[in-house]
Structure 1
Amino acid sequence: MGARSITLGIDLGTTSVKAAVLEAAPGDPSGFVVLASCARAARAEAVTQSAAARPQGREQDVSRTIQALHECLAALPRPQLRKVGAIGVSGQMHGVMFWKTGQGCEWMEGGAAPVFEPRAVSQLVTWQDGRCSSGFLASLPQPESHLSVATGFGCSTIFWLLKNSPEFLKSYDVAGTIQDYVVAMLCGLPRPLMSDQNAASWGYFNTQSQSWNLETLRASGFPVHLLPDIAEPGSVAGRTSHSWFEIPKGTEVGVAMGDLQASVYSCMAQRTDAVLNISTSVQLAASMPSGFRPGQTPDPLAPVAYFPYFDRTYLGVAASLNGGNVLATFVHMLVQWMADLGVEVEESTVYSHMIQAAAQQEDTCLTITPTVLGERHLPDQLASVTRISSSGLSLGHVTRALCRGIIQNLHSMLSFQQLKEWGVERVIGSGSALSRNEVLKQEVQRAFPFPWSFGQDVDAAVGAALVMLRRNPYQKEA
């Protein structure tokens, strides 16, 4: 591996920025060691610039995110940063920001380390942005892609700005995700490069031809000059134009990846692994068999979406909106009921007692469909409780049924049989809700009877560094 045996991974998330330094494990070609890592809250929420976008608009101040990034790097050991041979970058997908060619930042040589400060940049309109109503989205042209377009997606946001703030768009001549921006600034690129992972998250991108829907977009008056050029995720975008926290000038920087793909990559050791992450919501992802190609048109009712992964393969992903948040809703309900009865109790106490009760209640006839938040493919679905009997009303019964319901809902989206057909042989379980809930672990093992590995949490910064660590060092620059 030579000079690339130490790599830096950066993840520019919605609420926090993370950085991790990795080293190849001696004598193990696929192994790695995390030498150091750091996370900082971004605190980047900003007032929406466009009056017409309030209150649905969700924007972030790019300067604050970059400040959090610099705080992360300042906290990492300098001797390790001096040895970094490549930098991998991932970040929150779908979002869009704008800047002017050659004026996107200014490098400040003063202080402890050279840093770049954003200049002539817009705010970041994030994936959470809700300014594009369903009516507005219905007015947009049909994409030539297997992925549909939603509010918060880069291209739909640009369409909205074109209609509602055309003067705003005239101030800028390039656009990208925040991770594309950081790569472009580090390398001094005149125009950003974008991976198919991030391009697919913007909409109007055909993953099979690896191209934007230029004719469709041009016909609608879309400013196609803003769209970045496409390159392989993790291939070399360029080299650092300055020394940066003692990372040497001339260090390779990879084309930015999506945080979903980097997160999965951080713990999917084999192509035959699936990754299940249960935190607030739930994601179950598996690498599709080589040669798999998704359909040509979007299917908004499909429970599984197919996203570009690495080496022209795809991830099949079932993303449920109902995970740890459902358990939190139940706990909150119990605490509220008890308060109404004049009893004050901490939510953490209720949670530990209900999991303990469910662990002793190994089975139940009670059936809970826990979709209090609906699902993307079934937005109007609500929750329900059925097969209620007088002998199945204990806290243990209800909590066991609730945990089972969360997993059964996921299984209805992506089943054990389907995973087997895709060649999955093992599942990696991660996420805060899974790590602290033994009953949820039992239920996933019951619904998905594969060999399981728990305890390795997904980490996009580690994944971004790992891609650069394993990338063929002789691969040509993008």
Structure 2
Amino acid sequence: MEKNILSIDIGTSSVKISIVAIHNDRSNSFEIKSQSKCYYDTKRIRANNLPSNHSQQNVQVIFETIDDALKCMEFNVRIDSITVCGQMHSCVLWNHRLFVDPFDPNNLRFDMISDNYDWTDGRCDENFLKTLPTPISFADKVSSGFGCASLFWLKRFQPHYIDQFDRCGTIMDWFVCLLCRLDIVPISIQNAHAWAYFDPIKPGWNLDILKQAEFPIHLLPKPFESNVIVGQTQFQWHSIIEPGIPVYIAIGDLQAMMHLALKDNPNAIVLNMGTSAQICRLLVDKDGTLRIPRKSQLPVQSYDYYPFKNNEYLLVAPSLNGGNVLQSFMGFLQSTVKCLTNNELTREEIWDKIFHKSPEEFSNHDDNDDNDQSDERFISIKPTLFGERHDLSSVFSVNITGAKQPSLFNVINCLCIELIQNVFNMMPNVCETIRNNFNQKISTKIICTGSVMANNPILQRSLLIVIKRILLNENKSENKNNDEITNLLTSSLIDIEYVDKCDADVGCALFLISQSTNDTGAMIRRMDVDRNLMLFINGRPLPASSSITLSTIQIRNRMNGQQIPLRIMARRVG
């Protein structure tokens, strides 16, 4: 017995869709039956007349890309449920009248939908952020690109524009509402936390604070646990989506990817590099004693705690600089080559030429860089092209010392090293763990996810250099030399695994189905419902008890017998 899940990842630059067959056994084994990936039209996804620090995406282009990706799917199975994940900080607004007319992919009213204000948006500068109230949550720092920050800015500077909308959510929430024709916008606790002004422990929005700050609280989506079914598809879309398919609440792409990455290695450190970069590790509150500190009280404010599932959290250093910096540099090389030679090279062709160079051509910035007196350290790069949330003033810079002229390969090598060094610097806790494990002869598992790391030998080599720097920084007093460190790096004490296929859409399906399966027989707390509604369990009316253990629930309207979704809070028994 297996469940076939259609899972969709609405990313920053592309849409990925998979059909994941999950076997209904204790192993939770799975098989990917079909996949497709379509990139946004780069010429249409963003408007050209925006200020350089504004980052918003055309929702019509996103929708058309989802449509194209669905067309590319090959399948011969019936879809049992749909899961959605994506860019969790994003914010899109729409008018409820959008879903009044029957669904027609060719005539969707995009004039009733705002752009998608994504996580890279920088319109909320430091001065603006200082005018915002402090959230009541362990995440008590607000950054530009967070959903609530974007709404604050729109309310203050474009009030007439925002007044035409009466709904908002992440781009994934909008898509879930589209599929199910929902009037109330459901948002997962994961994504609500990523918007700021949300307490995931309580859980709930900081409504009193937001009201006092004249925030448009009527727009806020309704938060739910990150494992509930919020509705059913209401229409036929191509041959793959039929009416009546259950749709789960949308979750964050980071949590989805981490669920897959940590599936067999819960104690591993995960380094992910996609458009951005993150270092993550899992924290489990086994006995209820974990107390998460406020971000403002952390000694280093470059990392965050993210809600994951049940009593688990993710400790995350989220850098805004990853594959996007390398892409920008490749774009610079493209334009330089065209300007000087009138020849056009694709970014793939440039990388191919770089990868085929011999390792010796990178030797001017190699493993000997721990020697502070080395005359080979003639180039340094600060790779924060897109700044960082904890340091809005951070910029990209290149510093060349001495008369020695660096080659293109020195620059690329240094850039890759410093990109990885930057994200490790944001998580001192991880660096300390690596050093402590190393000194105690305990193996450290590092899982590198994403095709950027898996397919780039320069980045892989750069990771080894950064780990060596971490170890040498601790062990200089012990006179450990380079050769000894290098030998230990290649031993089992530092276990590095590169995972090309750790797709968020696959992780999303596994995450939501595993949570749903684990909560079978959960204790459902009876909630207030309209007096015209009656609860049924397996066709029988629900007794008026305060709580009851359920295997299945359906809710019917007494007036016409129509089935409608039941939204509930669930807690595992025992």
Q: Specify the TM-score bucket, using the shorter chain as the normaliser.
A: 0.7 to 0.9
Correspondence for 2:220: 227
Distance change in 2, residues 1:431/1:276 (3 Å): same
- Give deviations 1:310-350, integer Å, cap 9, x for gaps: 22422111233454566677888999999999999974365
Q: Is the 8 A contact 2:257 2:504 kept in 1?
A: yes
- Aligned partners of 1:398, 1:59: CA distance in 2, in Å? 31
Distance change in 2, residues 1:339/1:57 (3 Å): closer
- Aligned partners of 1:328, 1:73: CA distance in 2, in Å? 27
- Aligned partners of 2:148, 2:5: CA distance in 1, in Å? 32
Correspondence for 2:423: 410
- Alignment pair present for 1:63 and 2:68: no
Where in structure 2 are the equivalents of 1:103-118 lying within 5 Å? 103-104=98-99, 106-108=101-103
Normalising by structure 1, what TM-score? 0.82
- Give deviations 1:119-152, integer Å, cap 9, x for gaps: 7333322223333232222111122223321222
Correspondence for 2:558: none
Correspondence for 1:45: 45
Correspondence for 2:183: 190
Gap runs ≥5 in structure 2: 370-375, 469-492, 525-566, 569-574
In terms of mean alpha carbon deviation, does 143-152 or 209-218 score higher?
A: 143-152
Correspondence for 1:29: 27
- Aligned partners of 1:63, 1:336: CA distance in 2, in Å? 29
Q: Is the 8 A contact 1:107 1:117 kept in 2?
A: no
- Name the % identity: 28
Aligned partner of residue 316 in structure 1, secondary structure: strand
- Pick one of 445, 469, 472 that aligns with 1:426: 445
Deviation at 1:46, TM superposition (A): 4.7
- Code of the residue aligned with 1:370 in structure 2: it is I
- Aligned partners of 2:74, 2:214: CA distance in 1, in Å? 49
Correspondence for 2:559: none
Correspondence for 2:72: 75
Q: Is the 8 A contact 2:33 2:75 kept in 1?
A: no
Gap runs ≥5 in structure 1: none
Deviation at 1:116, TM superposition (A): 6.9
Correspondence for 2:130: 138
Aligned partner of residue 370 in structure 1, secondary structure: strand
Correspondence for 1:444: 463
Aligned partner of residue 112 in structure 2, secondary structure: coil
- Aligned partners of 2:443, 2:83: CA distance in 1, in Å? 27
- Aligned partners of 1:126, 1:462: CA distance in 2, in Å? 22
- Code of the residue aligned with 1:434 in structure 2: it is M
- Alignment pair present for 1:456 and 2:456: no
- Aligned partners of 1:159, 1:39: CA distance in 2, in Å? 34
Deviation at 1:359, TM superposition (A): 7.4
| Rg comparison, structure with higher value | 2
- Give deviations 1:365-384, integer Å, cap 9, x for gaps: 35565323254434437657
- Give deviations 1:275-310, integer Å, cap 9, x for gaps: 212345432111123254422354695122222222
Q: Is the 8 A contact 2:45 2:62 kept in 1?
A: no
Deviation at 1:96, TM superposition (A): 1.6
- Code of the residue aligned with 1:92 in structure 2: it is Q
Q: Is the 8 A contact 1:357 1:396 kept in 2?
A: no
Deviation at 1:22, TM superposition (A): 0.3
- Aligned partners of 1:116, 1:337: CA distance in 2, in Å? 41
- Code of the residue aligned with 2:302 in structure 1: it is P
In terms of mean alpha carbon deviation, does 397-406 or 156-165 score higher?
A: 397-406
Correspondence for 1:240: 233
- Aligned partners of 2:111, 2:418: CA distance in 1, in Å? 49
- Code of the residue aligned with 2:7 in structure 1: it is G
Correspondence for 2:205: 212
Correspondence for 2:254: 260
In terms of mean alpha carbon deviation, does 98-107 or 277-286 score higher?
A: 98-107
The structure whose RCO (Cα within 8 Å, separation 6+) is larger is 1
Q: Is the 8 A contact 1:267 1:457 kept in 2?
A: no
- Give deviations 1:33-74, integer Å, cap 9, x for gaps: 1111112223352549xx9x7564333332332222122222
Q: Is the 8 A contact 1:87 1:253 kept in 2?
A: yes
In terms of mean alpha carbon deviation, does 250-259 or 465-474 score higher?
A: 465-474
In terms of mean alpha carbon deviation, does 302-311 or 219-228 score higher?
A: 302-311
Correspondence for 1:357: 360
- Give deviations 1:387-428, integer Å, cap 9, x for gaps: 9898x9898887766654444443332234336989995222
Correspondence for 2:292: 294
- Aligned partners of 1:167, 1:339: CA distance in 2, in Å? 45
